[in-house]
Every structure is written in C-alpha cells, then in structure tokens.
Amino acid sequence: MAEKSVSTDSFASAEQKEYKGQKLRVAIIGCGGISEVHIRSFQKMPEVELVGGVDIKPERLKVMKEKYGFTKLYADWKKMLKEVKPDAVSVCTPNGVHAPAIIDACNAGCHAITEKPMAMSPKECERMIAAAAKAKKKLAVGFQYRYHPNTQFLTRARDEGAFGKVMFVKCLALRRRGIPNWGVFGQKKLQGGGPMIDIGVHVIEMAHYTMGRPKPVSASGNTWTFMGNKPSSVTSMWPGWDYKKYTVEDMAIGQIRFDNGAILQIEASFVAHIEKDVWTFQLMGEKGGCQWDPPMIFGDEAGTMINSTPGWISDKGDFESLFAVKLQNWVDAILKGTKLESPGEDGLAVQKILDGVYRSSEAGKEVTIG
C-alpha cells in the first residue's frame, strides 16, 4: 500500500468541539506497567472517562480493578470493543500487538494512540494509517520526547532560522549495561528488535522532528549481539535478564540519508563499553548548530563563535509530565480539533528509519527506503 498523502490529522469528527461536559470514553489495551502512566495522566483530565481495560494476564487486570477501580476488564480487545464501545483506545501492549489492536479499534470507530514504536514494520504502519483514515479517526504515536522542553526550544530556533539548511544529525541512545530484565524487550518476535527499536527510536524521533521531518531515502547499518545472549556475572543496574530468550541486538549503528541531502547517524545500545550512558543528539546546519543535552545553540555573532544556552527552561521534562502532555495533545485533537503533533505519518517515517537499519544489517549493504 502506498503511503497516504493526506494526514489522518486532517480528518474532522463529531467529537471535535469545545469540551462542554461530554466526556471522551477511553479504554486501555495492554495493562502492563506503562499503562499506569497513561492512566494517571487520564485521571487528571476532567474531559476523559476511563471505561475499560484489556490484558491477557489476569494479575494485571487485578491491578486495574484494585488500584484504579476499573470494572469492565477483558482478556480480548475485540470483545471489549463490541461491549464497551469506547470512543478511543490507548494501546500499551508489546510492539508486536500494536498494529492488530489499532486496526481493530479504528474499524470499530475508535480514535487511537499507540506507544512507541508505532509497529513492527512500515507495512503495518501503513495499514494502521489506512484504517484510521477510512474511519476518519485520529491516530497518534506516543513520541513524548518531541514535547520535551529541550526539543521545543530547538524546534523554535529552527523555525526562526538559527540553523539554516540542516546537513548532519548525530543521535546517541547508549547504555553501558542496561538490558531490561522485565517484559519481553529481549524477544525479537514480540518487540522487533533491541536497543535500536526500544530506545534509539526516541532520540531518532525527536531529532527527526527537530530537523523538520525530512523523508528518509536510504539506510546503512549493522547490529551486534555479544553479551545479552550469555550468562553474566558483571554487576549492573538491571541484573538477571533472561539470556536464554534473548534474540535481539546489544548494539546497533545506522546512517540514514534524506531526500534533502541531510544525513542522520544513530548509535543505540543496551550494552557498550563506554564511560557512561548517553542520551542526546547534535545537529549541524549551514548557519548554526545545536545539541539536545544540555540544550545549547552554536552560531556566529559579531565576528565571534557563540555558544548560547537558555537562561531558563521549563523543568517539565520528566517522564510523567511528558506523558501527560502527549496524551493531552491527542485528547485535544479529538475534542477540539487542535493540531495533532505526533500523527501516524510521523510514526511511519520513523519506522522506515528503524526498518532500514535492520534490513541493511541483514543484507550487509546499504538499502533503499521506499
């Protein structure tokens, strides 16, 4: 299926009106740990009513009932969609379940938001976008770091012309020893990959957003697994991961070329012999450049090279605050018709980048991104 040229953000809906007391009825699909962050955010929104939860694990449904007061709980989202008939769903499942859950929800007439990454492949993303477009519903991807104060500062600087034409971006999402010892993060069939798709995705998306969302056209990369699939006696912050089920990479390196000539490089790791964890990106333009952490802009003024830092920047960049902002943006887009900052089309572009790196690693050469 060809990529849609019309964003799903453009569709009008009956719900797009100023809030006047009618609540948006939201159900949660996937009641694991990350869903609790969603729930806490939704509970603070007077315009939202949480109406149901879905999970295949009875113990997680028990948490939903006892901790959050859910009364309509299901092991099957299709049954939930039929009986509860929510207005919208928030999908917090493992990556491999994102596409079928979103497609079924859109077909049932629901707006939808999914946790990152959008899916397991660009084709799945395209099917999700098509389902939302057909139903004329809002589809968002949970890319919270584009709402981070640092990212917003740098995108405003871009809009004001501080960087000029962007030539190169370097993304770093590196852990020295940080293999998750919970969930299914080490299982490729359920997650699609390791650090590239799990944490690299965050830095890629906020860098791509800051660049102005250019179209990726080719990718080159490689992946390595050298520790995660073996027992380890080295102390670390998350010891005891299930190495017997570990089928993802420990480290991935990629380079992406865009249609405007810009290059993005990405380094992502669960395991890397480095001094310390790193989470940032650097951007170089013809007129100026920047870095994400600490936020700084590099340019020339009065015949002098200048490094500019914010005198003050919002401290609302913590985990819970970012989730609250991204979920509120989706709710406002549904109820008020305001701009959806993270539509499905952005999720597709990032998925193509991830897919390109993995395909290049398997092929041993550069690959084209369609």
**What's the confidence (pLDDT) of residue 143?**
98
Share of the chain above pLDDT 90, in %: 94
pLDDT level of residue 11 (50, 70, 90 thresholds): low
Neighbours of 56 (CB within 10 A): 14
DSSP 72-128: -EES-HHHHHHHH--SEEEE-S-HHHHHHHHHHHHHTT-EEEEESS--SSHHHHHHH
257, pLDDT greater than 50: yes
Residues 13-35 pLDDT 10s: 445 544 456 899 999 999 999 99
**What's the confidence (pLDDT) of residue 21?**
62
Question: For residue 203, how far is the Cα from the chain centroid?
Answer: 9
Residues 294-306 pLDDT 10s: 999 999 999 999 9
Architecture of domain 149-313+352-368 in this structure: 2-Layer Sandwich (3.30)
Average pLDDT, rounded, for the chain: 95
- Tally of CA atoms within 13 A in the half-sphere of 308 that contains its CB: 16
208, pLDDT greater than 50: yes
**What's the confidence (pLDDT) of residue 22?**
84
Residues 6+ away with beta carbon under 8 Å from 287: 161, 162, 163, 164, 165, 299
**What's the confidence (pLDDT) of residue 19?**
46
225, pLDDT greater than 70: yes
Mean pLDDT along residues 57-68:
98
| 58-68 and 33-43 helices, crossing angle to 10° | 30
Sheet of 296-301: strand order equals 304-308, 296-301, 289-291, 278-285, 166-174, 263-269, 251-258, 216-224, 367-368
Per-domain boundaries in the chain: 8-145+320-339, 149-313+352-368
Residues 79-130 pLDDT 10s: 999 999 999 999 999 999 999 999 999 999 999 999 999 999 999 999 999 9
Residues 123-178 pLDDT 10s: 999 999 999 999 999 999 999 999 999 999 999 999 999 999 999 999 999 999 99
- Write down the residue that tokens 């590239």 correspond to: 196
Record: fold of 8-145+320-339? Rossmann fold (3.40.50)
pLDDT level of residue 352 (50, 70, 90 thresholds): very high
Beta-strand runs (E) in 237-295: 251-258, 263-269, 278-285, 289-291
Query: Cα separations (Å) of 196 from 28, 94, 175, 280, 356?
Result: 26, 15, 12, 14, 11
**What's the confidence (pLDDT) of residue 18?**
45
199, pLDDT greater than 60: yes
Mean pLDDT along residues 287-295:
98
Neighbours of 64 (CB within 10 A): 23
